[in-house]
Amino acid sequence: MGEVKKFRMTRLRQIGEKVMRRPVGWGLVPHTYLLTTRGRRTGRQHTHPVTLVEQDGRRWLVAPYGPVGWVHNARAAGTVRLRRRSEDSRLAVREVDVDEAAPVLKQYLQITGPPRAYFAASPDSPVAEFRAEAERHPVFELVAPPGPN
């Protein structure tokens, strides 16, 4: 396997994310949603397209590029907003441990393409190889937000 790429938010990537918002919002990109987080320092809303892993009624949010801004914001707030087609949900996030993350990361690489260069493991690698990936790629389970007390 070749060298693992390191993520950099370039101007071209920012433009690409903006261009993708419409087709993602319309539900034209499989498994992909618009994720909005509130900036932990600025309070501003930040929106990015993200690919979810969905299985058996559960959904996971994977950070393919490592602990980038939205990861820090989600950790700080404990909630995120997901949008696609008519779905618009505010959900709580629960960061999962290495054992739970490994099979989710493997499934993630099986449904997505471009982020593969940021992983040492391949979609065909055994789940055990994804344990090391979990240290570099946080995984969050999306759960119902806590109700009012």
88 strand-pairing partners: 83
User: Residues 117, 85: contact at Cβ < 8 Å?
Assistant: no
pLDDT in the model for residue 2: 54
What CA–CA distance (Å, rounded) separates 114 from 64?
10
Sketch out the chain's domains with CATH numbers: 11-143 (2.30.110.10)
User: Residues 24, 52: contact at Cβ < 8 Å?
Assistant: no
* pLDDT (tens digit per residue) in 119-141: 999 999 999 999 999 989 999 99
* pLDDT (tens digit per residue) in 48-85: 999 999 999 999 999 999 999 999 999 999 999 999 99
Say which residues have a Cβ less than 8 Å from residue 147's Cβ, sequence separation at least 6.
none
4: which 2 tokens? 């693992």
pLDDT averaged over the chain? 88
